[in-house]
Amino acid sequence: MASLKDVAKLANVSLMTVSRALNSPERLKPDTLARVQQAIEQTNYVPDLSAKKIRGAHASPSTIGVLALDTVTTPFSVEITLSIEETARAHGWNSFVVNMFSDDSPETMVDLLLSHRPDGIIFTTMGLRQVPLPAKLLTLPCVLANCESLHQPVASYIPDDEQGQYSAVKALLAAGYSRPLCLHLPATHLATIRRRHGLERACREANIDPDALDHVYMKFGDEHYRDMPAHLLEYIRHGKPLFDSVICGNDRIAFMVYQTLLAQGLRIPQDVAVLGYDNMVGIGDLFFPPLSTVQLPHYDIGRLSALHIINQETHSDTIRVESPLLLRESL
């Protein structure tokens, strides 16, 4: 990472002049200021907020900087960020989080993160996705949590969505259900694609053609959760379901399915079994009977990502973290 000295050398000025350009630009001549600003841009220099520490103070612990895209808007963010902080503290490190929203400038938020001079970076998103990585992030040890890099080979820790769905559907079919209705999240979501692969693998092993099942994909946008009861009712004729179970894209869909089935006088699981996904924070105890679902391993993802930085691991592999089935009374 470029230092103040690098900027001063390129601009052929003193360190004091660079400092003035950053803190009191009005005190410099326009041509000198322009030369320093050009050097800052060419070196990708980011101001060091930690430089204000008192000289001679004891060295502070190493620090993990977390750049969190959209995670603060979901309950799962608690598990990821808490796990990172607990793991860091357990190893004598600190951590801090910079929240970034979809309409923020990535360059501005990355500069804010780097200005605190972390020793390593965790880039995390909510909702498994592939992301472009600002080049500046890669000037430090960097790892991705719950996301994958679009272009650069960077280590990633993500849920094993395919295996999680495979295990859940395999248990459903082994319990004697053979005509599931599949209510998926939007078709373009990475998680949807990988969970569909797991579903198909489990079905084929049970000699069931997955393409012969009924599949419904939710439209993109949270408002379309409200569409799910109508989709479900299309497969209920004269009070009788055309399915014996419902495989839900996540627990929010399962919650809508519960309400709809019970309103139709159908019993869970005696008439229809229901399978969720996520083990969503905050609503698991609201299901009656308790919902069988798959645990998204966000706590483990945070822990493994933090250890990647702390242990100075250098691999650039994508690590799929186990997503265990939680068998409860809805199956």
Domains of the chain, first to last: 4-45 (1.10.260.40), 63-158+298-322 (3.40.50.2300), 161-294 (3.40.50.2300)
Residue with tokens 């159908």: 266
Q: What pLDDT score was predicted for residue 74?
A: 67
Whether omega for the bond prior to residue 269 falls within 30 degrees of 0, making it cis, is yes
What is the rounded CA–CA span in Å between residue 251 and residue 330? Answer: 12
Q: What pLDDT score was predicted for residue 261?
A: 96
pLDDT digits 0-9 by tens, 142-197:
999 999 998 889 999 999 999 999 999 999 999 999 999 999 999 999 999 999 99
Q: Is the pTM of this model over 0.85?
A: no
pLDDT digits 0-9 by tens, 235-288:
999 989 999 999 999 999 999 999 999 999 999 999 999 999 999 866 666 788
Q: Order of strands across the sheet with 120-131?
A: 94-100, 63-69, 120-131, 142-149, 156-159, 318-321
Are 135 and 114 contacting, i.e. CB atoms less than 8 angstroms apart? no
Residue type, 217: Y
Please, which residues have CB within 8 angstroms of residue 279's CB and are 6 or more apart in sequence? 251, 293, 294, 295, 296, 326
What is the rounded CA–CA span in Å between residue 20 and residue 272? Answer: 71
What is the rounded CA–CA span in Å between residue 289 and residue 267? Answer: 10
The CA dihedral of 169, 174, 176, 182, to the nearest 10 degrees, is 10
pLDDT digits 0-9 by tens, 62-111:
899 999 887 766 666 678 888 999 999 999 999 999 988 878 888 889 98
Please, which residues have CB within 8 angstroms of residue 231's CB and are 6 or more apart in sequence? 183, 216
Residue type, 169: V
What does pLDDT average to over the chain? 89
